[in-house]
Amino acid sequence: MNQMEAKEVNEVVEHHGEIIELSIPNKAEFVSVVRLTLVAIANRVGFNIEEIEDMKVAIAEACTNAITHGKNTPSESIDIRFTLQAAGLEIQVEDKGKGCEVEKIKDPQIEELNENGLGIFIIKSLMDDVVIHSEPDQGMTIIMTKMIG
């Protein structure tokens, strides 16, 4: 590890546990704000361009899922929490919508692919760890983790 990489690792460890929270209206036009916020945080933490692009797609999918399936009213918000970790970033996207039975979410089969139902599959493909919490009428929380490198 060269001196520059060591400095970046020390900065990440120094900020371990710090939380940045963001609430956006339940409207698609605010997803770009979330993506821009993610880019700024991920760049500061030390992710490379490819990792940042993966996270941008994943967070956009999570927010779009919350807007589409959360069934919130436009006056309600979607809450996003970025938690800096020693070697990565945890991103939590929470809606206050109708929720679902998580165990019924299945990975799509090649022969039945369509535009709908791919969001969670895409998120799982791009992130290192994905946990979904949901109960009927209690909303849904998607927790995504990406490790540096």
- Please provide the DSSP assignment of 81-141 as one string: EEEEETTEEEEEEEE-S----GGG--PPPGGG--STT-HHHHHHHHSSEEEEEE-TTS-EE
| Other CB atoms within 10 A of residue 134 CB | 21
In a domain, 4, yes or no: no
pLDDT of residue 17: 83
pLDDT of residue 71: 65
pLDDT of residue 68: 82
In a domain, 119, yes or no: yes
pLDDT of residue 2: 46
Sole residue written with tokens 């919490």: 133
In a domain, 7, yes or no: no
DSSP one-letter code for 79: E
DSSP lists the bridge partners of residue 23 as: 79
pLDDT of residue 6: 45
Whichever domain contains 80, its CATH number is: 3.30.565.10
Which burial class, exposed, middle or buried, applies to 50 when counting CB atoms under 10 A from its CB (0-12, 13-18, 19+)? exposed
In a domain, 2, yes or no: no
Phi, psi of 27, rounded to the nearest 5 degrees: -135, 140
pLDDT of residue 1: 47
**Domain ranges, residue 81:** 17-147
Q: Which residues of the chain have pLDDT under 70?
A: 1-15, 70-75, 99-117
Number of domains in the chain: 1
Separation between Cα atoms, residue 29 and residue 84, nearest integer Å: 26
Q: Which tokens belong to 3? A: 């001196």
In a domain, 9, yes or no: no
Q: Which whole-number Å values give the CA distances from 68 to 46, 104, 114, 119, in the listed order?
A: 32, 18, 16, 11
